[in-house]
């Protein structure tokens, strides 16, 4: 028993990727009955697969879920998914036959001329029965929509987000040929914030642009909120409790103030271990940056095994979703272990927010913070002034040191201390304390 899951020996069944409910993966596990299902991501590299609960289809068929203990990937049992797919197809066929039999019944009856006129009028008023799942191929539409966004020059993250939102709208009953139906589905999403509803509107608007159509789009304005700023000690506790890959990723985010997507695809070309510097390739049309790495970070990166060729974390075609899920599980475990619920609020973006707040608190130079974060618009940087004023107002947050010799004075200056005054033949230095 590991993490509440039972390691079992099962019959050899095909495995599927989690992106397909009914299993369209070409990866098939083979072997005798003592073999476990192979992970679609790791393939034949591991057999460490355990049961991870079940899910049900739209008709109530139970589908076994599996989890790979090597990479954390969760996937459906392919045999169960195939059976569920067959049941859905049979149900659709029965509905189609029932509809056709009703039409045949009307056409085989002999009626008078007056009854024929009434029947024609009734058929004109009756809406035709449309089986949405038969007449609409969401996968083909998603591929067409993705190619359209690529031709429009959209970034990979934007494309994946909009395609995902379009599939969610369809899955929850939206009819893309009727804009009012899409509005109703978006309005009913009570768990969505205003910003996510606005993203769904943008996704459907670009879909209509692909089809050469327009609509009266609803207005959703995202509500700006003050971000959470943790203490540096809490960030260090989180880094120390995570595994090697996640800890290195978090330490790199902390020292570079970069976005998670900017670090996720870092390769050997971005690091210079002669000068201990790292170059950040920007996202969201921001400016490129270069940072000096600490000796601690250099050691962590050099010890990190490169399982993706020249890339330290993942190749460009790999998303960060599974890695983020792994981090959230480790963060939950550390928060419970240390009895500190504030750790649950720390996300990848939180380290960038902390870095900007710390830089302004230490330097009081908004232009320096703007350069460190790669902002092109000064309005994006002004929020850190508000955070600094709110978090450290009327606080005495200086660390003082005394230098008795020239060597001690030089060391303090190199450590960021500034000279204050002479006292009793010694020199006093100070610098702002860490957050």
The reported pLDDT for the residue numbered 32 is 41
Q: Are residues 73 and 32 in the same domain?
A: yes
pLDDT band at 392 (very low <50, low <70, confident <90, very high): confident
Average pLDDT over residues 54-65: 85
Q: Are residues 174 and 290 in the same domain?
A: no
Residues 417, 311: Cα–Cα separation, whole Å: 38
The reported pLDDT for the residue numbered 36 is 65
The reported pLDDT for the residue numbered 40 is 80
Closest CA to 434 of 374, 354, 339: 354
Q: Are residues 144 and 95 in the same domain?
A: no
Locate 433 and state its tokens. Answer: 């304390």
Q: Are residues 239 and 352 in the same domain?
A: yes
The reported pLDDT for the residue numbered 290 is 93
Q: Are residues 349 and 238 in the same domain?
A: yes
pLDDT tens across 343-379, in order?
999 999 999 999 999 888 888 888 999 999 999 888 8
Domain annotation covers residue 292: yes
Q: Are residues 259 and 202 in the same domain?
A: no
Domain annotation covers residue 78: yes
Q: What percentage of residues in the chain have a pLDDT greater than 70? A: 79
Residue 11 has pLDDT above 60, yes or no: no
CATH code, domain with 291: 1.10.443.10
Domain annotation covers residue 390: no
**Among 211, 246, 268, which residue terminates a domain?**
211
Residue bearing the bigger pLDDT, 112 or 159? 159
Q: Are residues 250 and 344 in the same domain?
A: yes
Helix 244-256 × helix 295-302 angle, to 10° = 140
Average pLDDT over residues 405-421: 84
Residue bearing the bigger pLDDT, 94 or 411? 411
**72 CB contacts (<8 Å, ≥6 apart)?**
322, 325, 326
Q: Of 89-93, 210-214, 302-306, give the lowest mean pLDDT range.
A: 89-93
Average pLDDT over residues 227-243: 93
Domain annotation covers residue 154: yes
What sign has the CA pseudo-torsion 47, 48, 51, 54? negative
Q: Are residues 248 and 302 in the same domain?
A: yes
Residue bearing the bigger pLDDT, 254 or 47? 254
Domain annotation covers residue 219: no
Domain annotation covers residue 95: yes
Average pLDDT over residues 245-254: 95
The reported pLDDT for the residue numbered 233 is 93
pLDDT band at 43 (very low <50, low <70, confident <90, very high): low
Please calculate the CA angle 168-170-172 and round it to the nearest 5 degrees.
Answer: 70
The reported pLDDT for the residue numbered 179 is 92
- pLDDT, averaged across the chain: 80
Q: What percentage of residues in the chain have a pLDDT greater than 90? A: 39
pLDDT tens across 104-140, in order?
544 455 555 555 555 555 555 544 444 444 456 788 8
The structure's pTM equals 0.60
Closest CA to 392 of 345, 357, 344: 357
Domain count across the chain: 4
The reported pLDDT for the residue numbered 353 is 93
pLDDT band at 91 (very low <50, low <70, confident <90, very high): confident
Domain annotation covers residue 146: yes
The reported pLDDT for the residue numbered 93 is 79
Q: Are residues 276 and 361 in the same domain?
A: yes
Q: Are residues 248 and 359 in the same domain?
A: yes
Domain annotation covers residue 2: yes
Residues 206, 171: Cα–Cα separation, whole Å: 18
Which structural domain, as residue segments, surrounds residue 1?
1-110
Average pLDDT over residues 85-89: 84
Q: Of 28-32, 175-179, 231-235, give the lowest mean pLDDT range.
A: 28-32
Q: Of 91-100, 326-335, 344-353, give the lowest mean pLDDT range.
A: 91-100
Q: What CA–CA distances, in Å, run from 80 to 6, 50, 62, 332? A: 19, 16, 7, 32
Residues 385, 375: Cα–Cα separation, whole Å: 15
**Among 349, 367, 385, which residue terminates a domain?**
367
Residues 251, 290: Cα–Cα separation, whole Å: 16
Residue 342 has pLDDT above 90, yes or no: yes
Residue 205 has pLDDT above 90, yes or no: yes
Residue bearing the bigger pLDDT, 198 or 49? 198
**Cβ atoms of residues 37 and 68 within 8 Å:** no
The residue written with tokens 């709208």 in the block is 169
Q: Are residues 20 and 98 in the same domain?
A: yes
Residue bearing the bigger pLDDT, 190 or 433? 190
Residue 185 has pLDDT above 90, yes or no: yes
The reported pLDDT for the residue numbered 59 is 78
pLDDT band at 68 (very low <50, low <70, confident <90, very high): confident
The reported pLDDT for the residue numbered 388 is 85
**Cβ atoms of residues 352 and 318 within 8 Å:** no
Q: Are residues 246 and 346 in the same domain?
A: yes
């Amino acid at each position: 028993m590991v993490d509440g899951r039972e390691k079992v020996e099962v019959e050899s069944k095909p495995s599927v990727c989690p992106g397909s409910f009914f299993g369209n993966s070409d990866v098939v596990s083979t072997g005798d009955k003592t073999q476990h299902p192979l992970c679609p991501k790791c393939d034949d590299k591991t057999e460490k697969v355990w049961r991870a609960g079940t899910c049900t289809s739209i008709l109530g068929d139970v589908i076994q879920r599996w989890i790979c203990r090597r990479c954390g990937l969760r996937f459906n049992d392919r045999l169960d998914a195939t059976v569920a797919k067959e049941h859905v197809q049979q149900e659709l066929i029965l509905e189609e036959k029932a509809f056709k039999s009703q039409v045949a019944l009307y056409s085989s009856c002999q009626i008078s001329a007056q009854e024929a006129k009434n029947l024609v009028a009734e058929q004109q008023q009756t809406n035709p029965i449309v089986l949405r799942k038969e007449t609409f191929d969401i996968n083909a539409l998603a591929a067409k929509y993705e190619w359209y966004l690529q031709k429009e020059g959209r970034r990979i993250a934007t494309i994946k987000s909009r395609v995902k939102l379009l599939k969610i709208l369809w899955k929850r009953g939206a009819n893309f040929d009727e804009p009012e139906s899409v509005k109703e589905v978006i309005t009913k999403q009570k768990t969505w914030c205003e910003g996510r509803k606005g993203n769904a509107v943008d996704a459907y608007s670009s879909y209509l642009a692909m089809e050469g159509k327009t609509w009266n789009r609803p207005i959703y304005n995202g509500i700006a909120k003050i971000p959470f700023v943790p203490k540096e000690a809490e960030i260090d506790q989180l880094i120390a409790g995570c595994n090697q890959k996640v800890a290195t990723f978090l330490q790199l985010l902390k020292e570079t103030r970069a976005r998670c997507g900017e670090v996720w695809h870092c390769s050997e070309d971005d690091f210079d271990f002669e000068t201990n510097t790292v170059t950040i390739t920007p996202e969201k049309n921001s400016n490129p940056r270069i940072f000096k790495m600490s000796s601690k970070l250099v050691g962590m990166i050099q010890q990190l095994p490169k399982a993706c060729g020249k890339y330290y974390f993942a190749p460009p075609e790999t998303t960060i979703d599974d890695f983020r899920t792994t981090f959230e599980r480790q963060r939950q475990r550390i928060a419970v272990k240390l009895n500190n619920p504030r750790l649950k609020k720390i996300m990848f973006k939180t380290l960038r927010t902390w870095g900007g707040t710390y830089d302004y608190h230490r330097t009081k130079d908004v232009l320096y913070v703007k350069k460190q974060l790669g902002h092109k618009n000064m309005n994006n940087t002004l929020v850190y002034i508000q955070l600094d004023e709110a978090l450290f107002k009327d606080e005495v947050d200086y660390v003082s040191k005394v230098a008795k010799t020239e060597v001690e004075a030089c060391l303090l200056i190199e450590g960021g201390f500034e000279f204050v005054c002479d006292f009793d033949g010694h020199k006093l230095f100070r610098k702002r304390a860490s957050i």
